[in-house]
């Protein structure tokens, strides 16, 4: 089953948001940095062995392909 298109696999829809919301904020079983590493850098590192273009994915540095969201919360 594809992750995009008319018949979409559930893993292609908001899975990262669930990890952050449920396991980081609610259950507190993962730290935010661990969850981000597992979702981004670890996946890119596994894939870069077969596809060198993934060396620039999942990292925040000059020249890297990174989509980031920064939010602030007042306490």
pLDDT digit string, tens, across residues 6-64? 676 666 666 677 788 889 999 999 999 898 888 888 888 888 888 888 888 877 778 88
57 bridge partner residues? 65
pLDDT confidence of 1, banded at 50, 70, 90? very low
CA distance 70 to 47: 26
**What is the C-alpha R_g of the chain?**
14
Q: Whole-structure pTM over 0.95, yes or no?
A: no
């Amino acid at each position: 089953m594809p992750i995009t298109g008319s018949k979409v696999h559930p893993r292609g829809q908001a899975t990262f948001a669930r990890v952050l919301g449920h396991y980081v904020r609610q259950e507190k079983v993962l730290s935010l940095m661990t969850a981000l590493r597992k979702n981004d850098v670890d996946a890119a590192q596994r894939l870069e062995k077969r596809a060198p273009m993934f060396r620039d994915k999942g990292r925040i540095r000059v020249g890297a392909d990174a989509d980031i969201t920064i939010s602030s919360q007042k306490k």
